[in-house]
Amino acid sequence: MRKVLNLMNSKKNKVLRFQIGVNGRAPYLEDTSGEILSSFNAAVLGQLLTTDEDFNLQPGLLEKFDYEQSTNSFVLRLKSNLKFHNGRSVNSKDLEFSLLRGFFSSNSSFYSVYLKNIEGIDQIDPTRSLFKSGAVSGVKIVDDLTLKVRLAFPNPSFLHSLTNPFFSLVPKEEMSPNFLSWRSIPIGAGPYKVVGEGLKKGLVELELVDRTLSHAAEKVEIYTSERKGRLCDVVLSASENQDLDGLEIKFTKKPISVRSLFFNTQNPLSRNQEFRQAIQRVIDRKRIDGLLESLSASTELLPQHFWGRSGNEIVPDLSLAKKLVSQIPEDLRTKSWEAAIFAGENLSHDQRILIDALEDQFSSVGLKIKIVPNSEKFLSQESARRFVFRMEGRVTDYVDPLIMFASLREGSAYKYDHPIGERKEKFENLFRSAQAEIDFDRRIESVRRLSKYVQEEAIAVAIGETRMGFYINPKTVKSLGYQPQPLTLFIQNIELK
């Protein structure tokens, strides 16, 4: 009996200390970087659906998820007796709101990239439309726990998008008027709840509410910057000069993103096709490969595990790059420019190494480009005018390759990244062709044509696949547990010694 009590007390007293960021900002702000927001949301909001390591779908907050042939609809049924952390019971209207809220916000979000294919979304004007149940024709409430979702175009990967914690359940009454940020603290139906006021003195405290998780820590202290004087158990994001002695670095098996250069429609040099092609040809990825343990050089916007890659390898050609640069108008060619890297004020060690390597290669063909940090999740028009491109690791979906290309469409959250002129029309035609294909073999070929076009026309320029790196304290962490998704570190699955 005493041993049982000791085990219970041991679990009860365990606190997981988790450094999630470096800038002191709350990890649940809408402009937070993907891996931070996803890891936090998975703990607090939970997931509608989960996957195993082979990306097979499993129940999450949804009990059932089927495709109904007679209505061409996905049928989603919530688990019974779900409650939000504010004590209110969850119902199908909450599921409807959670799947649609981003389309009724004037703020940019991933909703337009992942879920825009829902029938009726094209009729919603976020500047004029008010959310109400039934406003979107493709989403129908069946009963208190069940919802039907109909798509405008076939997408066998739709359900996999629902594994993203960003689209999990939220109560409408706890959201700010823009439906993307919180009135106060995050309220979800996930395994942990936020304690107290949320972020306070760089710390957010969580408390376990899902008692079926026998190995999960009872409490979690989430640090939003370096914890001075004492190591955390897990460090998801470390600053450039942070002392990490005593910690072990780990990497995800699959990439979380393809780090690429994304041009825009607002900057005159960025619009120039010779400039884009010169950038494509000047980058020697073999010189970059090996600089960072987390980066594997690539000229493809889709990662290696995907179907639909172009199959083309872009070979660096310094002579061609110089020739292309010489064709850029002189007033643009001789000017000093800034480019952006998606980062906070404090660049990481890896980011600095990559920046130095790229700036050196650009200067070899006479381009004067300085890469500076930019923390906007989606580039503003002012920033787009300022920067000739932005380097970022755009999150790769693990099942649907069209998600990456959807981010390059006009009307996506990335407002200024779409192709221009005749390339925009050709790109859109190729995208629609791929989107409409039902036969899988033809879908593969149509995505391959799209990949090849984006690559050849330098609509965006890939640098390499990036795996997520993080640190653990081997003295305190017994196991990371089940971690199937590269972008998300599931706090609830980490077991302490």
Residue 186 has a pLDDT of: 98
217 within some domain = yes
Same domain for 66 and 39: no
485 within some domain = yes
Q: pLDDT band for position 12 (50/70/90)?
A: low
140 within some domain = yes
274 within some domain = yes
Same domain for 479 and 429: no
Under a CB-based contact definition with an 8 Å cutoff, are residues 467 and 304 in contact? no
Residue 155 has a pLDDT of: 86
d(CA 240, CA 41): 25
Alpha helices in 66-157 (DSSP H): 92-100, 111-114
What's the average model confidence in pLDDT over 133-158? Answer: 94
Q: pLDDT band for position 431 (50/70/90)?
A: very high
For 329-351, letters b (16+ CB in 10 Å) and e give eeebbeeebbbbbbbbeebbebb
Under a CB-based contact definition with an 8 Å cutoff, are residues 108 and 155 in contact? no
Same domain for 335 and 316: yes
What are 269's two structure tokens? 């040099």
Under a CB-based contact definition with an 8 Å cutoff, are residues 486 and 254 in contact? yes
Under a CB-based contact definition with an 8 Å cutoff, are residues 340 and 391 in contact? yes
- Greatest mean pLDDT among 53-57, 151-155, 315-319 lies in 315-319
Q: Which residues contact 234 (CB under 8 A, 6 or more apart)?
A: 16, 17, 18, 19, 470, 471, 472, 473, 477, 489, 494
Q: pLDDT band for position 228 (50/70/90)?
A: confident
Same domain for 277 and 201: no
Judge whether residue 359 has pLDDT over 50. Answer: yes
Average model confidence (pLDDT) across the chain:
92
Could you tell me which of 214, 198, 234 has the C-alpha nearest to residue 17? 234
Judge whether residue 8 has pLDDT over 60. Answer: no
What's the average model confidence in pLDDT over 209-233? Answer: 93
Of 8-22, 235-249, 375-389, least confident by mean pLDDT is 8-22
What's the average model confidence in pLDDT over 352-372? Answer: 96
Same domain for 372 and 436: yes
Rounded percentage of the chain residues whose pLDDT exceeds 90: 77
CATH code assigned at 146: 3.90.76.10
Under a CB-based contact definition with an 8 Å cutoff, are residues 321 and 282 in contact? yes
For 54-81, letters b (16+ CB in 10 Å) and e give eeebeebbbeebeeeeeeebbbbbbeee
CATH code assigned at 239: 3.40.190.10
What are 312's two structure tokens? 């083309």
What are 23's two structure tokens? 């800038």
184 within some domain = no
96 within some domain = yes
Q: pLDDT band for position 347 (50/70/90)?
A: confident
Same domain for 197 and 293: no
Same domain for 213 and 311: no
Could you tell me which of 29, 185, 30 has the C-alpha nearest to residue 107? 30
Q: pLDDT band for position 4 (50/70/90)?
A: very low
Judge whether residue 387 has pLDDT over 50. Answer: yes
Of 291-295, 353-357, 399-403, least confident by mean pLDDT is 399-403
Domain count, the chain: 3
Residue 22 has a pLDDT of: 86
- Greatest mean pLDDT among 9-23, 54-68, 379-393 lies in 379-393
User: What letter would DSSP give residue 88?
Assistant: P
Of 87-91, 228-232, 451-455, least confident by mean pLDDT is 228-232
Listed in order, strand segments (DSSP E) in 224-343 are: 234-235, 248-251, 257-262, 295-297, 337-342
pLDDT tens, residue by residue, 243-302: 889 999 999 988 989 999 999 999 999 999 999 999 999 999 999 988 998 999 999 999
pLDDT tens, residue by residue, 54-107: 778 999 999 999 999 999 999 999 999 999 999 999 999 999 999 999 999 999
Q: pLDDT band for position 7 (50/70/90)?
A: very low
What's the average model confidence in pLDDT over 473-488? Answer: 93
Judge whether residue 422 has pLDDT over 80. Answer: yes
| Long-range pairs of 219-222 with CB within 8 A, sequence gap ≥ 24 | 219/14, 219/15, 219/16, 220/15, 220/16, 220/17, 220/18, 220/43, 220/192, 220/491, 221/15, 221/16, 221/17, 221/18, 222/18, 222/19, 222/20, 222/27, 222/40
Same domain for 381 and 270: yes
CATH code assigned at 327: 3.10.105.10
Report the predicted TM-score, pTM, of the whole model to 2 decimal places: 0.89
235 within some domain = yes
Same domain for 138 and 3: no
Same domain for 364 and 303: yes
Look at residue 436 and give its three-state secondary structure: helix
Of 80-89, 102-111, 305-314, 453-462, least confident by mean pLDDT is 305-314
Same domain for 441 and 481: no
d(CA 421, CA 165): 36
Q: CA torsion angle for 153, 154, 158, 159 (degrees, to 10)?
A: 130
Under a CB-based contact definition with an 8 Å cutoff, are residues 362 and 405 in contact? no
359 within some domain = yes
Could you list the residue range(s) of the whole structural domain that residue 34 is in?
1-45+190-252+470-497
d(CA 105, CA 99): 13
Could you tell me which of 223, 369, 241, 106 has the C-alpha nearest to residue 232? 223
Single out the residue in 146, 179, 212 at which a domain terminates. Answer: 179
Judge whether residue 3 has pLDDT over 50. Answer: no
Same domain for 322 and 233: no
What's the average model confidence in pLDDT over 472-491? Answer: 94
Of 2-16, 193-207, 386-400, 464-478, least confident by mean pLDDT is 2-16
Rounded percentage of the chain residues whose pLDDT exceeds 70: 97
What's the average model confidence in pLDDT over 409-427? Answer: 95
